[in-house]
Amino acid sequence: MVRRVYDADAFIYYPGMTARTPIVMLSGLVAGDWIWTDVRDSLVAAGYPCVTMRDPIAVAHNSIDAAAIELGEALDQFAIQRATILGASLGSAVALAYAIDNAQRVETLVLSGAPAMGGKGLGIASFGKLTRSIAFDVARGLFHDRSRIADEHIEHAFRLFLDRRHLANMIHLLREAQSLDVKIMLRKLDVSTLLVWGDEDRVSDCGDWVRLSAHVKDATFVRVAECGHLPMVEQPERFTSALFAHMGRRARTAPAAAI
């Protein structure tokens, strides 16, 4: 059990060694910080200070830019000058938007399941009314192994989005995600980037993103076999292993500090 030391309105801070670069984990469109539980626990156990975004992005925001602004405010609030930023699904789009304009504050950018122009989306057929059946159908589409997500998490998300404001935010963000020209965004990146993708992702196609990653100056792509849209939930050990390996390579190749 990790100890929570600072609980802000939108973010939760977990302690670590001061010498470690803090790691910030962004929620998805409709999934909150529970998607990062296993990864976060491993990072905190290894001494990394961690910050998780509490609620799904659509609970408080109706645009990617608004969520990116809040991310910057959270870093200021916790006095974090430079961080490794992890994004899940729509959280990857937020992380990407932030990193483009604030490269000096991003040690490493980690993208997973990011949306792209013309992508499949969540497969929600009805924007007028969200039903429990739709919520469970979406969950089945997100995972290669549906048993990796507890029914209670689906039920919680369903109840959150019975709120009309939250639902309106979700619809707006879904449409924005569908129109993102990520190829242009990726070309603007000037930070080390790790992309971790489920090989069976039916929302953000893994093969498409292998090709898109070629537009990043400094990119490493890791495919996770037998995994859907959220490898940090479905295959947390493989996700964490890829992250540790990337951070280890970064540490070995970083220029020596001036004396």
Domains and CATH numbers, the chain: 6-253 (3.40.50.1820)
pLDDT in tens, 18-59: 789 999 999 999 999 999 999 999 999 999 999 999 999 999
Q: What is the CA radius of gyration of the chain?
A: 17
Tell me what the mean pLDDT of segment 249-254 comes to: 67
Mean pLDDT of the chain: 90
pLDDT digits (tens, 9 = 90+) for 126-147: 445 788 888 888 889 999 998 8
Please give the Cα distance from 29 to 60 (Å, whole number): 10
Helix ranges restricted to H, the chain: 37-45, 57-60, 64-77, 90-101, 132-142, 151-160, 164-178, 182-188, 206-212, 231-234, 236-253
pLDDT of 258? 31
What is the per-residue pLDDT for 130?
80
* Predicted pLDDT of residue 126: 46
- With a cut of 90, say whether residue 16 has pLDDT above it: no
With cut-offs at 50, 70 and 90, classify the pLDDT of residue 256.
very low
pLDDT of residue 249: 83
pLDDT value for 235: 96
Percent of the chain with pLDDT over 90: 75
Using an 8 Å Cβ cutoff, are 226 and 200 in contact? yes
pLDDT at 257 over 70: no
Q: Which of 203, 202, 211, 207 is nearest to 182 (CA)?
A: 211
What per-residue confidence (pLDDT) applies to 51?
Answer: 96
